[in-house]
Amino acid sequence: MLPDAEGLIARLVKQLRAHITPETGVVGIVTGGAWLAERLHQALGITTPLGKLDISFYRDDFDEAGLHHQVRPSQIPFEVQGRKLLLVDDVLYTGRTVRAAMNELFDYGRPASIELAVLVDRGGRELPIAAQYTGDSIEVPPGKILVLDRDEAGNLSLHISDRRRERSTGGAK
């Protein structure tokens, strides 16, 4: 049984409260990471505007995956140079998405630091990347992916799906 995503958000807020200031720059990775970042940004009362990254052009599998029709420009509405950043993603898996996000962030300037918050760490790292803040760690069966969904009311939930089907729609790990 998968953990309740809403409960995991509450757990992340408790972890982050002592480490985040109103000036911290919060950046969510599109799509699920941006949804989670919106919730954390609001719950923590951060005054710096929320940033969103679409890392499509920074992926190391861009040649294989190609350009998705849903690619949108990233939005970083604050100065990155010298700022403490909280990078937010829904599911941490191989580490490649986070690596791509950090590459893009450095195009905006050199932050003082980058910390990573994820709703779920599913293991399986291919790069030496770890989250400082994690809602939960779970195992996902081989050949399956963990997907974060958002309903019309903005509530988040997790489900496991087949890798092939979700890859075609994007945004799953």
Q: How confident is the model over 1-49, as pLDDT tens digits?
A: 899 999 999 999 999 999 999 899 999 999 999 999 999 999 999 999 9
125: helix, coil or strand?
coil
Let me know the angle formed at the C-alpha of 39 by 26 and 89, rounded to the nearest 5 degrees: 55
Instruction: Tell me whether strands 144-150 and 156-162 are parallel, antiparallel or unpaired.
Output: antiparallel
**Predicted TM-score (pTM) above 0.85:** yes
For the chain, which domains are there?
5-169 (3.40.50.2020)
* Strand partners of residue 161: 145
- Spatial separation of the C-alpha atoms in residues 146 and 159, rounded to whole Å: 6
Residues of the chain with pLDDT under 70: 59-71, 164-172
Token look-up 């191989």 returns 94
Report the amino acid identity of residue 157: S
